[in-house]
Structure 1
Amino acid sequence: MTTDTSPPAFQVVNTIDLVSTRDSKIISVSVYSGRAEITRLFKFNVKTGQNQLNIVGLPRVLDKESFRVEGRGAATIHDVTISSITSPPVPTTSPALDSLLAKKKQDEKALARVQKSLNSLETYLKSVKAQHLDVSKLQEVVREYDTTAGELDDKVTELEKQLEEADEAITEERKRLAGPTGNEKLNLKATIGVFADFEGEIKIALIYAVSRATWSAGYDIRVDMQAKEKPISLIYKASINQSTGEDWDDVPLTLESAAPTFGVGVPVLTPWTLSVYCPEIYFKKRALPTAPMPMMSAPPPPPPGPASAFISPQIPTSWSMETEIQYRGLQVSSKGNVSATFGVPGLISIPSDGEGHNVTIVKLSLDADMSWVCVPKKDSRVHLKAKIKNASEYTLLAGNASVYVDGSFISKSEVPLVSPDESFDLPLGLDPSIRMTYHPLSKKTSQSGFYNKSTVYTYSQRITVHNTKSSPPGGGTDALKIKVIDQVPVSQDSTINVKLVQPSLVLPNAESTGTVSSAAGPGEKAKLPPPVKVSSGVVATWDGADEVSLGQGQEDVDVEALGREGRLCWICSIAPQGKVDLVLQWEVSAPLRTDITGL
């Protein structure tokens, strides 16, 4: 009995070579701030048994830690590796290139000969003298010149065309010699081992993150001052740019407001010790103590695995219904949470040019509280502001805004990061229809006291506010609310006393009108002082206390800081064509012949 002890035949590995940009389609792009996640779908045939898939032309800015592979079909993924392609020396010549260069050289010489012939013909014609030429032969000479010159011109045209064609052919041949991955930005290679149960077509998706791709928010904010409700029209835009090396042609694109972080952990406090300072000479006289062992710092957090870098892309339903190619001995899951995702409708193309490409995310109609603010001591112009509430489900990212009021461009502004149901302030420029007059300061000096004489300075400042509008904004009947901010000096010396006379504001926990330096006693909790009614439609309060009436609670206002810097304000309700006079009066007293700095 003969036993066959020969080893089994070696199984040949089927090699499949693909070029990323040519043999695949991008089916999903998720753009983050500073990064993007790409999903590329490949379809190819495998043979039963071992197959090695080589994919070249992947972007150099690919994050290898984020790279993962998903597949559909009766096969198993064995291993995945990413490597850089060391570009081989580009061949400088080939038989075809040599032939093209030789043909170009021949055409250049032929063109030079023809041009030389034309020049000789012109020289001959110029050298002909009337006394040397029979008049009866002049017509024949001109005819011969015209025929010969025309033939030479045709040759010049033909040779120039041949040279252009030769240049194009040489360029194409050199591109061919450089290979399909001649783009230096696409120099990564993925090698994937696939064991197929039987021969047929399978699908492989490569999912990877790339840098040099980002998007930023921008806004067009249009304000309709005559609208009764929702006067703010906010157009939320996104500017997308990328220079990854691969073009995104007709891709479904989503914008992510989450900012992926890598290797960020809770900070660890290092020991904070105190000791008595000893001069250097002390250590020369005494033995140095044994130094304590240094504390070991916490090891850096491990880099995130490929599955934790980004959420799974939106893969078509038909893809998810097919049999998934399993990893050998590894079950991969990639799920995470993000703060907001914006899907761009339809398909979009973003070339790798580093330029911003704008798309509109959404158009929102929002409510706003308008307010007019002026600091006439510094600038008599009145500023218009809007407190806008984000009543949408969208998170507004920080970005630049172009502001239009009643169709006219007013200013460039900044929108901060705003969550849903959160409000933000937006400056809307200047309103010239509100006139502010800051009259000259009035000053009086007097003396008081019999034994301890003091000098008393009394100052009076008058401010006139004139609303020249013909009707209230929004066509309503409410008067306009204007905030006027001013200040009185604050004493930093115990011998100088500052007393606010008009308006008669009281500092938190002060028992009477008077000194700006009064304060709550030790252990006392400061209480918000009530506003002071100055006249019909006008109240005065410390600057900052008015925020309570604008929707903030008392806990959001630093009560103890109110008036500490002498700032106060008037809230004026002024009807159209109305006018209000405001008076600020204060006294400064100090011992006689005291030189006061700052007055």
Structure 2
Amino acid sequence: MTNTDPPAFEPSKIDLQSLTDSKIVAVSLYSTRAEITRLFKFAVKTGQNQVQIAGLPNVLETESLRVEGRGAATIHDVTVSMAKREHVPTSSPKLVELLSAREKKSNALVRCEKALASVEQYLGSLTLQHLDVSKLDTVLQHYEATGARLDAQKSELTEELRRMDGEVATEHAAIAVPHENNKLRVKAAIGVFAETAGDVEIALIYAVPYATWTAFYDIRVDMDTKENPVTLIYKAAVKQSTGESWDDVPLQLETSTPTFGLGVPHLSPWNLAIHRPAPTSEPVFMSMSLASMAPPPSAARRRMRSTVDEEELPRMGSAGAAVTSKGNVSATFRVPGLVSIPCDGDAHNFTIVELGLKAAMSWVAVPKIDAKTHLNARITNASEYTLLTGNASVYVDGSFISRSVVPAVSPQESFDCPLGLDPSIRITYHPVLKTRSQSGFYTKSATHVFSQRITVHNTKTVAIGRLKIVDQIPISQDSQIEVRLMTPALMIPTKGSNSTSKGGVKPQVLNVSTGVVAQWDGVDESGSDLEALGVDRKVKWVCSIPAQGKINLSLEWEVTAPASATVVGL
């Protein structure tokens, strides 16, 4: 009777190289890492197949690795390991051939140099006893011809040796690099059980660090445009040094940052006790072996393995091609088309979207310190895109003005963007006029009156609004010194006064002239303390000036103090 037992089961082995046998079909890039989806297509045999995938990045985060597939097969297990370093060769057939050819050229150069030396030696040995004068011309002609030929041969051989030295150096550098990229030594072993022989697809999805993207912007302002005067070009600078190049990949930029093991902070009990000195005792030394610090073998193996259910996984879907946003918490941007980002650590820039935004222009000057006028834009992000913090290059009417920083801005939120100086608004801060008078019979007091005039000239061909001029009057730090604002007639708050906020009374605003109002500085700032308005004695005029128009602003105040006193700071 013959033995009818079936032969021992041997799984079919399939060896795949990540770079040559697969393609990256998706990259989701976060601020500090990237999630890569790499697709493999191969044939399996009926029964158990052991798929070995080599050439994955060394920096691959094994906890993040997951495997998805489609086809008449089931994924059983996934194991990740690190390949041993490859032996670096010291020679190659090409290098041997190059060195042999170089040796021949070097020998030829030596012979050429010896021939030149022999010709020189022969000519130097000639005398009248050995050479007829009538033949001297013929000898010299032969010398010139032979010398020129040997000089040309020497130059040619020297240049060929220089070229061959470069080829030898290039080959030395080539063979010093392992055949497999030293940064791609992670291997994945995947058990696949196939019901029938055929083609299947497996996608490896894994996270890698050393990949990042940052936002930056071009902000272009057209001062002649009333509707949407600001064009904001949203850009992304992408860097990666993960060990593998991303060639012709669909790139998705994520504004959220993935976190691992991050939970709500927990407050520990906050206990109080009376300090009691501990009794003096001999020190106790503790020791711990490395073995006791190591995790159990099963835990270590679990960290290096990833398994999926033993049933066919759902088919992978295809992502859309448009740039999308997913609300105020986070946003996802799909860079149009396919992009290539080599593993070089350099910044590769892409445009995400170009937005036309509304903006309210304003001008601010503090002429007591500097007569220059600063231009600012209050830009409203009237789009569906979340703006991340990033540097911005600002252009006004086509000219580069300054560099600024765009803060984190959600849709429909506003932010301030300084646009540099506006030389077309000219401000003259005239010298202050001072007068002094004295009053009182027994107790004499001196009153000093100060007048400050400010002239503002709008040289533009268009009118401007929201020009803010800020100045100040002094603050008394002594009960014997009284400071009174005369023009503009804003009420100076006194100690304990909060009349600007009680009963719903609005902060004081005075109409000074046509298109000019005066108020305490800070009135129009969000979150300002109404009770504190005017405490710092800073006055602000908000002006509207027609094209080519001029306005004059006046600031007058008086200081009263004892006539015999010397007022510091006056």
Give 3-state SS (helix, strand or coil) of 2:20's partner: helix
2:41, 2:210 → 1: CA distance?
28
2:283 maps to: none
1:127 equivalent among 108, 124, 127: 124
Cα distance, 1:452–1:50 mapped onto 2, change above 3 Å: farther
Q: Contact 2:115 / 2:150 at 8 angstroms: preserved in 1? A: no
The TM-score with structure 2 as length reference comes to 0.81
Instruction: Report the alpha carbon displacement of residue 71 of structure 1 after superposing the two structures with TM.
Output: 1.5
- The change in CA–CA distance for 1:63 and 1:124 in structure 2 (over 3 A counts) is same
Query: 576, 585, 590: which one pairs with 2:556?
Result: 585
What is the aligned partner in structure 2 of residue 328 from structure 1? 310
Give how far 1:187 is off.
2.7
Aligned length: 536
Distance verdict in 2 for CA 1:98–1:391, change over 3 Å: closer
Measured at CA, do residues 152 and 487 of structure 1 come closer, stay the same or move farther in structure 2, by a change above 3 Å?
closer
For 1:404, the equivalent position in structure 2 comes to 395
Question: CA 1:77 to 1:542, structure 2 compared with 1: closer, same or farther past 3 Å?
Answer: same
After the TM superposition, which residues 203-352 of structure 1 pair with which residues of structure 2 at under 5 Å, given as runs?
203-272=201-270, 283=277, 327-328=309-310, 339-352=330-343
Residue 482 (1) aligns with residue 470 (2): no
Instruction: Evaluate the alpha carbon distance shift between residue 270 and residue 234 of structure 1 in structure 2; reply closer, same or farther with a 3 A threshold.
Output: same
Q: Deviations over 1:54-81 (max 9, x none)?
A: 2222222322222222122222222222
Name the SS for the 1:127 alignment partner.
helix
1:395 equivalent in structure 2: 386
Shift of 1:217: 1.7
Q: Tell me whether 133-142 or 438-447 shows the greater mean CA deviation.
A: 133-142
Q: CA deviation at 1:484?
A: 0.5
Alpha-carbon contact 1:28-1:251 (below 8 Å) kept? yes
Equivalence for 2:59: 61
Secondary structure of the structure 2 residue equivalent to 1:82: strand
- Flag structure 2 segments of 5+ consecutive residues without an equivalent: 281-301, 318-324
Partner of 2:521: 543
Instruction: Extract unaligned runs of 5+ from structure 1.
Output: 288-304, 307-324, 473-478, 507-513
Q: Deviations over 1:164-196 (max 9, x none)?
A: 679758965885685431x33223222222222
Cα deviation, residue 493, structure 1:
4.2
Q: Mapping of 1:562-577 within 5 angstroms?
A: 562-577=533-548
Letter in 2 for 1:45: A
Structure 1 residue 344: deviation in Å? 1.6
Match of 2:485 in 1: 500
Q: Give yes or no for contact 1:14–1:51 (8 Å, CA) kept in 2.
A: yes
Which stretch shifts more, 137-146 or 366-375?
137-146
Q: Which secondary structure state, in structure 1, belongs to the residue aligned with residue 531 of structure 2?
A: helix
The structure 2 residue matched to 1:107, chosen from 87, 92, 104, is 104
Distance 1:7 1:159, change over 3 A: farther
1:79 aligned to 2:73? no
- The alpha-carbon distance between structure 1 residues 283 and 246, as it changes in their structure 2 partners (threshold 3 A), is closer
Q: 1:124 to 1:538 in 2, by over 3 A?
A: same
Aligned residue among 497, 520, 525 for 1:519 = 497
User: Per-residue displacement from partner, 1:217-256 (whole Å, max 9, x unpaired)?
Assistant: 2222222211232221222222222222222111111222
Q: Is the 8 A contact 1:49 1:198 kept in 2?
A: yes
Kept after mapping to 2: 8 A contact 1:54/1:190: yes
Which residue among 370, 394, 414 is the counterpart of 2:405?
A: 414
* Counterpart pick for 1:364 among 355, 359, 376: 355
TM-superposed CA distance for 1:382, in Å, is 0.9
Structure 1's 39 and 150: CA in aligned 2 closer, same or farther, altered over 3 A? Answer: farther
User: Displacement of 1:585 after TM fit?
Assistant: 2.0
Summarize the Cα distance change of 1:126–1:440 in structure 2 as closer, same or farther, 3 Å threshold: farther
Alpha-carbon displacement from aligned partner over 1:319-347 (angstroms, at most 9, x marks no partner): xxxxxx96337979999977212222211
CA distance, structure 1, for counterparts of residue 460 and residue 437 of structure 2: 43
CA contact (8 A) 1:481 1:574 kept: no
Amino acid at match of 1:565: D
Measure the CA separation in 1 of the matches of 2:251 and 2:488.
60
Give 1:532 deviation, angstroms.
Answer: 1.0
Report deviation, 1:27. 1.3
Q: Please tell me the residue identity of whatever aligns with 2:516.
A: V
Aligned residues of 2:500 and 2:530 also touching (Cα < 8 A): no
| C-alpha distance 36-577 of structure 1, shift in aligned 2 (>3 A) | same
Contact kept, 8 Å, 2:89 with 2:175, in 1: the verdict is no
Deviations 1:17-64 (A, max 9, x none): 222222221111222212222211112222222322222222223222
Change (3 A) 1:136 1:283: closer
Q: 8 Å contact 2:375–2:418 — kept in the other structure?
A: yes
**Structure 2 residue identity aligned to 1:386:** A
Alignment partner, residue 290 of structure 2: none
Deviations along 1:390-433, one digit per CA (max 9) or x if unpaired, are 11111222222222222222111222222111111111121112
Letter in 2 for 1:461: Q
Conservation of the 8 A alpha-carbon contact between 2:26 and 2:251: yes
Letter in 2 for 1:498: V
One-letter code aligned to 2:524? D
5 Å-filtered alignment, 1:174-193, equals 175=174, 179-181=178-180, 183-193=181-191
Normalised by the length of structure 1, the TM-score is 0.78
Report SS of the residue matched to 1:51. strand
Provide, for residues 139-174 of structure 1, a one-character-per-residue CA deviation record: whole Å limited to 9, x for no partner.
Answer: 588569857985996799689769967975896588
State the Cα distance separating 1:485 from its structure 2 match. Answer: 0.8
In structure 2, what residue type is equivalent to 1:75?
A
Shift of 1:458: 2.9
Which amino acid is the alignment partner of residue 468 of structure 2? K
How far, CA to CA, are the matches of 1:121 and 1:20 in structure 2?
Answer: 63
Secondary structure at the aligned position of 1:395 is classed as: coil
Q: Determine the C-alpha separation between the residues in 2 that align with 1:390 and 1:45.
A: 52
The corresponding residue for 2:34 is: 36
CA contact 1:107–1:163 (8 Å) conserved in 2:
no
Letter in 1 for 2:237: S
Match of 1:49 among 34, 47, 51: 47
Of 74-83 and 99-108, deviating more is 99-108
Please give the alpha-carbon distance, in whole angstroms, between the structure 1 residues aligned to 2:12 and 2:387.
52
1:436 CA displacement:
0.9
Partner SS state of residue 367, structure 1: strand
Is the Cα contact below 8 Å between 1:104 and 1:163 reproduced in 2? no
CA contact (8 A) 1:498 1:515 kept: no
